[in-house]
Amino acid sequence: MITTREFRIEDYDSAVDLWHRVEGVEIAEGDSKEDIARYILRNPGVSRVAQEGTKIIAAVLCGHDGRRGVIYHLAVDPAYRRQALGKRLVEECLNALRTAGIKRALLLVAKNNASGRSFWHRCGWEDIPAALVMGIDL
């Protein structure tokens, strides 16, 4: 049986292993164990995992800054895809954001991740062609 629950810091190693195994997720600045611990403390219950038995089979990070929600690093183990698990975790994230009063959420998809983009479209997300993503290292 597959169950879902909040992402706990004890899930970190399994989640990183999953993120390394899937295509389309890039581990970057802010993804150390200490950083993720701080992130989930700031956004309790919003990041999610799915497990079968004790095995972590899907994970997603989500949080908000009080105005916009953001989703990062959604990954479903290849052996468990197309069973609505990705959609289920995303819905749980969005429900947690709604409960926090957030009205809009954003995410980044790598330009070469065509299947990830198709998934987000199927889940109702829209492209934002008028915007360009920018960043700076601190």
Ligand X SMILES: CC(C)(COP(=O)(O)OP(=O)(O)OC[C@H]1O[C@@H](n2cnc3c(N)ncnc32)[C@H](O)[C@@H]1OP(=O)(O)O)[C@@H](O)C(=O)NCCC(=O)NCCS
Q: Tell the residue number behind the tokens 């292993």, with chain if given.
A: 17
CB of 18 to ligand X, least distance (A): 8
Report the residue from 2, 4, 83, 100 that binds ligand X according to the rule CB under 6 A: 83
Q: Which two tokens stand for residue 76?
A: 């479903």
- d(C-alpha 73, C-alpha 91), whole Å: 15
Query: Which stretch, 8-16, 19-27, 32-40, 93-101, contacts ligand X (CB under 6 A)?
Result: 19-27
Question: Can residue 122 be called a binding residue for ligand X (CB under 6 A)?
Answer: yes
- d(C-alpha 45, C-alpha 11), whole Å: 13
Question: Can residue 86 be called a binding residue for ligand X (CB under 6 A)?
Answer: yes
Q: Which is nearer to ligand X, 54 or 112 (CB)?
A: 112
The greatest distance separating any two alpha carbons of the chain, rounded to the nearest whole angstrom, comes to 44
User: CA 94 from chain center: how many Å?
Assistant: 11
Report the residue from 3, 54, 112, 115 that binds ligand X according to the rule CB under 6 A: 115
Sheet strand arrangement including 2-6: 2-6, 48-52, 55-64, 68-76, 104-107
Q: Which is nearer to ligand X, 54 or 115 (CB)?
A: 115
Question: Can residue 125 be called a binding residue for ligand X (CB under 6 A)?
Answer: no
Q: Which is nearer to ligand X, 131 or 138 (CB)?
A: 131
Angle between the N-to-C axes of helices 33-42 and 12-21, in degrees from 0 to 180, rounded to the nearest 10:
110
CB of 118 to ligand X, least distance (A): 3
Q: Which is nearer to ligand X, 70 or 96 (CB)?
A: 70
